[in-house]
Amino acid sequence: MLNYSTSEENYIKAIFHLQQEDGTVTTNELAAELKTKPASVTDMMKKLKTKKLVHYEAYHGFRLSNEGKKLALIIIRRHRLWEFFLAEKLKFSWEEVHAVAEDLEHVSSKKLIDKLDEFLGFPRFDPHGDPIPDANGRIETSKQVCLTELPLNKTAIVCHVSDQSSEMLEVLGHKNIMIGTRLEVKKRFDFDNSLEIKTGKQAATTISDQLARNIYVKTA
């Protein structure tokens, strides 16, 4: 069932990401995304069509078939689990993980990935806050986002704090914020980027930019 080349996998993953927005993807879009030429994209689309991974009619764009989507989620799972591993276990910084994961994602042993998942404690989000598909390809629909980027008045749930120091936990405890807390940002002060937030039925509190940077939330 699965034994695809690095090139095929990179195309499938890129189509998956592009069609999230557009629905259907064009030749030029994909060529730009993959830093290749439109002619190369057409060649590859013909091949992926015969392999039943994409729906494609000449001149009318393409989108992934169900098979193609399943494959994309497998590759995304590998990519994000490796990113998590690199950040969490090897202490790579946030920005470094992507490039290395871009290569590691093409090592295709199913057992490797499932054991890695287990070793990492079945993490749900990669270091950029993107959800990690599970072994069956199921993926959380809502993206994890830093509290600093949450739009005003949008209800969200705290799902991760990146700094676990006792100082951090002290201030969180005092403000009654923990994993699972439902909150909304009511105001954002441009002067110092501090936030006024509302949690449940309590009075509003203010959160510094410093603190907000370490809190990740999921929109419901």
Partner DNA sequence: AAATATTTTTAGACAAACCTAAAAAGAATT
Partner DNA sequence: AATTCTTTTTAGGTTTGTCTAAAAATATTT
**Contact status: 61 vs DNA (CB under 7 A):** yes
Q: Name the nearest CA neighbour of 179 among 202, 210, 156, 198.
A: 156
Sign (positive or negative) of CA dihedral 200, 205, 209, 211: negative
In angstroms, the CA 9 to CA 11 distance is 5
Give the pairing type, strands 182-189 and 205-207: unpaired
CB of 47 to DNA, least distance (A): 6
**Contact status: 5 vs its own copies (CB under 8 A):** no
DSSP 1-62: -----HHHHHHHHHHHHHHHHHSSB-HHHHHHHTT--HHHHHHHHHHHHHTTSEEE-TTS-E
91 binds, among DNA, its own copies, Mn ion, none (CB under 5 to 8 A by kind): its own copies
Which residue, 94 or 189, is less far from its own copies as judged by CB? Answer: 94
**98-117: contacts with Mn ion (CB under 5 A):** 98, 102
**Contact status: 89 vs its own copies (CB under 8 A):** yes
CB of 48 to Mn ion, least distance (A): 16
In angstroms, the CA 73 to CA 69 distance is 6
In the shown chain, the binding pattern of residues 177 to 196 toward DNA, with x for contact by CB under 7 A and - for none, equals --------------------
**96-125: contacts with its own copies (CB under 8 A):** 96, 99-100, 103-104, 107-109, 111-112, 115-116, 118-119
In angstroms, the CA 141 to CA 139 distance is 6
Binding site for its own copies (CB under 8 A): 86, 89-92, 96, 99-100, 103-104, 107-109, 111-112, 115-116, 118-119
